[in-house]
Amino acid sequence: MLQRHIKSFLITILFAMALLPSLTHIYRTQAQDTTADEALIKRGEYLTNIAACLACHTPYKAEYNVPPDQWTPEQLQTIGLHADDALDHDRRFAGGRPFDLGPGGVVVSANITSDEATGLGSWTDAEIEAALRIGVSKDGTRLHGIMPYRNYYTMAQDDIQAIIAYLRTLPAIENKVERTWAPGEGAVPELLPEGELLQSVPTESVKLGEYLVNTIMSCGDCHTPVDPVTFAPVMDKWLAGGQPYEGPWGIVYAANITPHETTGIGKWTPAQIEAVFRSGVRLDGRRLVLMPWQDYVTISAEDLAASIDYLKNGLAAVDNEIPAPAIEDLFLQTVEVPEVAAQTIATDNTPLIVGGIAAVAIVLLLGGVMMMRRQKPATAK
């Protein structure tokens, strides 16, 4: 009797073991076909977050539509310490966020929703790619350099496709954005022929980190000093910081994020660097001013590890002492670390896990039926 039960139990286990791989396989091949587009769109959505397309191309909430000298202290604090909270998330990607560049005037971001007349609805894929890589608009004019096309030039073809696929899914929002500045002049560069552009995202850790930091997340736009005359980045001070940013907060300087031991982040642990990405906090617990940490909060654990790997091991250490900031009281905020550490978004294994669970459930069901069947003659006896 007992032996019989053990025997049928063993048969069930064997059955389960034989069935499991084939069932997960069936699930996975089906899932792969139907979710190939979804995966591309999801990748595109992820990129538009960490590349800050979302942050730059989303307008402020209505209450911010007054001259900045009329903003309340709370509004100023939001802009300085967690600017994404000032954005109107009901009008994502509708454009019109102003960028006050001081003597450079005010530049306004474009509507990149799928609206036919005022967004990208009537643009071809090639036209969107040209805007991203070489900074030309559909009408052939040159985009303002605040749009980081110089970084996106080296974006992998796969990622360009993912971003375009995602932008196409955005609901159309009608919002006509007028340029408030003269389009740039000078020869527009040519796009390299397809085969000469990077096809897919690098896999080796330091290379992946370099790609994320420089091509996707544009850290250098603030952290690499520029030549005061030509505004070109100073290449031998890559990510070595030092530019002053003045405003209602006082004055802060972009940090030296090269691995220099005393003037950079060479002594920081990976967890301390992670705290900057996840909660915008310095080693002393002060919330960073102007550092757009909210744009990077959703970075995946792998991408974050690779970025840190590049910052610590793939980058030349530059000796560049950064002046101490002078920050108004309103902008001195202490943060409990790690406030948002739990937001780590791991790689998505859902289809595999769901497939596994479904297969196990089916096997258990079949196994149960078999057990019952085998038990019947036994009890009948």
Interacting residue ranges for ligand HEC, rule: CB under 6 A: 48, 51-53, 56-57, 107, 109-110, 112, 120, 128, 131-132, 137, 143-144, 146-148, 163, 179, 213, 217-219, 221-223, 245, 252, 254-255, 257, 265, 273, 276, 282, 288-292, 296, 325
186, 146 Cβ separation under 8 angstroms: no
159, 201 Cβ separation under 8 angstroms: yes
157, 194 Cβ separation under 8 angstroms: yes
In the complex, least distance from residue 365 CB atom to ligand HEC, rounded to whole angstroms:
47
In the complex, least distance from residue 75 CB atom to ligand HEC, rounded to whole angstroms:
18
Nearer to ligand HEC, 131 or 134 (CB): 131
57, 109 Cβ separation under 8 angstroms: yes
Nearer to ligand HEC, 31 or 51 (CB): 51
Nearer to ligand HEC, 27 or 310 (CB): 310
Nearer to ligand HEC, 25 or 302 (CB): 302
Tokens representing residue 48 in the block: 């538009």
- Alpha helices for the chain (secondary structure H): 2-50, 53-57, 73-81, 125-134, 149-152, 157-168, 205-210, 220-223, 270-279, 301-313, 350-380
**What is the rounded distance in angstroms from the CA atom of residue 173 to the CA atom of residue 31?**
32
Nearer to ligand HEC, 139 or 196 (CB): 139
Nearer to ligand HEC, 5 or 179 (CB): 179
**What is the rounded distance in angstroms from the CA atom of residue 315 to the CA atom of residue 220?**
12
In the complex, least distance from residue 138 CB atom to ligand HEC, rounded to whole angstroms:
6
In the complex, least distance from residue 294 CB atom to ligand HEC, rounded to whole angstroms:
11
Tokens representing residue 107 in the block: 């530049």
In the complex, least distance from residue 174 CB atom to ligand HEC, rounded to whole angstroms:
14
In the complex, least distance from residue 118 CB atom to ligand HEC, rounded to whole angstroms:
9
